[in-house]
């Protein structure tokens, strides 16, 4: 048994002003053939899961191409075409050099392309053109996917992450790999059913270790254990995509029993609709969050800049929270990251240990504060490379690009250390600070540009976690966004609506 593995993964915010180009994929994550195997073997990634499942189930995987880029605006037509063509070409090569029994794909589910709002269906259509309509194609998806009936029709099984923070891409990849063996050798015939629930939720409440998602997740697991059910996937979706499929998707796959899959999906959807009011987010005002954190007798207080989350398409150069920290005189404080390649260059020119003056941040758009005129000291200059050691993407190397740690002078003797990077990265691992010489447990205040993912690594060390009401692309108040393509009615915008599956 011989299975091709690969994928294209992107989460696209249609509200971002920065298009995602081929270059973004090449600089962040692009691997072919043997390079793919050496990049992912032994890692807790989706592909790492495919590879291990194949080994345990005793079949061969043949690497093709894997491309991913940091979330930003829609993927350009050129990038979509080039990457998809290459993936299809490499699957064709696998087919030409031996028997091909299946394809395991790591996709996202929220890729918007200039060519197609439903980027994943575009990809899988091109793969189907190579492998035909009947070969098993199993697709692993991020929990943030905005999924269409077409994708469910094109794929044999969709397996989405169960956890947010995403601590289980490996486990779901492994699961997908085992399903592949069950289908090819075991004769299972997957019958997937999707139910689209017209509910739009802020990502901050999609967190699966807290209510309302916790109880929902438990119910989904119970259903997954029913005889004949292969997989239960639930995707609260990515709200920062103004496209028709954006809402809450529930996908249940049974073994040759569509009625059971539909009944199970409807039960889950009915429960979800009953808790639809529990997804509200009430973040703390900026100045109050800072002054309370400064007064706290326990540390570190983690202030989450939830609205400038690079994982949701934010530029990660927002300055509103930093401005408050400097003005209010916060000390023993570290902020990560501030993406500003110009300021990194200025810090490099000044050199380690020397004073520096910067016009810092807020250079990408006008939604994340103003550039700040700041002065301080260059503490450290690095190449920005480190390896994840925490619960997410364990073992995967990250590249922040050239990076500078600067300690900025605030009012009343305040001092704020800022990790200024050249590339965007969502802080999901304590190594992002430790690799820059900052010990997170010793800080009074830690500021992270992240909506939820930081929790996996930071909850164990945090005295308290505070969601701060900064302005920005990933602000939880979705009424601030102007939607045009969203399928209506949808809750909570159409507050009086009724719905049943």
Q: Say which DSSP state 286 is in.
A: H
Picking from 312, 172, 156, 313, the residue whose alpha carbon sits closest to that of residue 234 is 172
Which of 312, 440 has the CB closer to Zn ion? Answer: 312
Which of 356, 473 has the CB closer to Zn ion? Answer: 473
CA distance 187 to 209: 35
Which of 208, 403 has the CB closer to Zn ion? Answer: 208
Lookup: tokens for 121: 């269906």
Q: Minimum distance between the CB of residue 69 and Zn ion, rounded to whole angstroms?
A: 14
Q: Which residue is nearest to Zn ion (CB)?
A: 144
Lookup: tokens for 278: 């529990």
CA distance 161 to 11: 14
Which of 117, 142 has the CB closer to Zn ion? Answer: 142
Burial 26-35 (b: 16+ CB within 10 A, else e): eebbbbbeee
Q: Taking the alpha carbons of 129, 132, 134, 138 in that order, is the dihedral positive or negative? A: negative
Picking from 229, 230, 148, 238, the residue whose alpha carbon sits closest to that of residue 194 is 148
Contact 136, 180 (CB under 8 A): yes
Which of 109, 384 has the CB closer to Zn ion? Answer: 109
Which residues, in sequence order, are CB contacts of 112 under 8 Å at separation 6+?
12, 14, 74, 75, 119, 241, 243
Q: Minimum distance between the CB of residue 62 and Zn ion, rounded to whole angstroms?
A: 27
CA distance 355 to 337: 20
Q: Minimum distance between the CB of residue 199 and Zn ion, rounded to whole angstroms?
A: 17
Q: Minimum distance between the CB of residue 241 and Zn ion, rounded to whole angstroms?
A: 12
SS3 category, 374: strand
Residues that bind Zn ion (CB under 5 A): 142, 144
Which of 28, 144 has the CB closer to Zn ion? Answer: 144
The 3-state DSSP composition of the chain as helix, strand, coil percent (nearest 5) reads 35, 25, 40
Which of 146, 422 has the CB closer to Zn ion? Answer: 146
Q: Taking the alpha carbons of 127, 128, 129, 131 in that order, is the dihedral positive or negative? A: positive
């Amino acid at each position: 048994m011989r299975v091709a593995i690969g994928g294209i993964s992107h989460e696209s915010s249609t509200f971002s002003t920065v298009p995602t180009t081929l270059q973004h994929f090449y600089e962040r994550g692009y691997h072919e053939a043997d390079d793919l195997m050496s990049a992912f073997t032994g890692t807790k990634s989706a592909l790492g899961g495919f590879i291990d499942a194949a080994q345990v189930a005793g079949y061969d995987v043949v690497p093709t191409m894997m491309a991913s880029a940091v979330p930003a605006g829609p993927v350009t037509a050129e990038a979509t075409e080039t990457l998809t063509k290459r993936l299809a070409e490499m699957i064709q090569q696998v087919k030409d050099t031996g028997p091909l029994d299946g394809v395991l794909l790591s996709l996202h589910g929220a890729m918007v392309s200039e060519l197609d709002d439903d980027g994943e269906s575009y990809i899988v259509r091109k793969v189907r053109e190579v492998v035909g309509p009947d070969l098993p194609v199993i697709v692993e998806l991020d929990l943030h996917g905005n999924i269409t009936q077409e994708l469910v029709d094109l794929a044999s099984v969709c397996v989405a992450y169960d956890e947010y923070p995403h601590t289980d891409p490996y486990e779901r990849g492994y699961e997908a790999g085992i399903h592949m063996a069950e289908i090819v050798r075991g004769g299972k015939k997957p019958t997937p059913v999707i139910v689209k629930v017209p509910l739009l939720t802020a990502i901050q409440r999609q967190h699966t270790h807290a209510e309302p998602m916790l109880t929902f997740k438990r119910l989904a697991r119970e259903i997954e254990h029913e005889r004949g059910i292969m997989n239960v996937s639930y995707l609260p979706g990515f709200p920062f995509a103004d496209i028709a499929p954006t809402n809450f998707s529930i996908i249940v796959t049974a073994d040759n029993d569509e009625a059971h899959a539909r009944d199970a999906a409807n039960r889950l959807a009915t429960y979800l609709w009953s808790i639809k009011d529990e997804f509200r987010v009430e973040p703390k005002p900026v100045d109050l969050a800072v002054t309370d954190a400064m007064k706290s007798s326990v540390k570190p207080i983690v202030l989450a800049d939830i609205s400038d989350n690079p994982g949701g398409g934010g530029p990660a150069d927002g300055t509103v929270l930093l401005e408050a920290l400097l003005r209010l005189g916060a000390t023993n404080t570290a902020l990560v990251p501030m993406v500003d390649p110009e300021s990194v260059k200025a810090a490099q020119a000044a050199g380690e240990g020397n004073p520096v003056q910067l016009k810092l941040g807020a250079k990408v758009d006008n939604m994340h504060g103003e550039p700040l005129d700041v002065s301080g000291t260059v503490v450290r200059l690095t190449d920005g490379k480190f390896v994840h050691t925490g619960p997410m993407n364990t073992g995967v190397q990250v590249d922040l690009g050239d990076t500078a740690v600067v300690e900025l002078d605030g009012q009343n003797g305040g001092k704020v250390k800022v990790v200024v990077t050249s590339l965007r990265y969502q802080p999901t691992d304590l190594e992002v600070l430790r690799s820059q010489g900052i010990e997170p447990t010793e800080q009074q205040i830690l500021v992270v540009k992240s909506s939820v993912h930081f929790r996996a690594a930071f909850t164990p060390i945090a005295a308290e976690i505070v969601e701060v009401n900064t302005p920005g692309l990933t602000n939880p108040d979705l009424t601030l966004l102007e939607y045009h393509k969203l399928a209506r009615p949808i809750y909570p915008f159409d507050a009086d609506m009724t719905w049943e599956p």
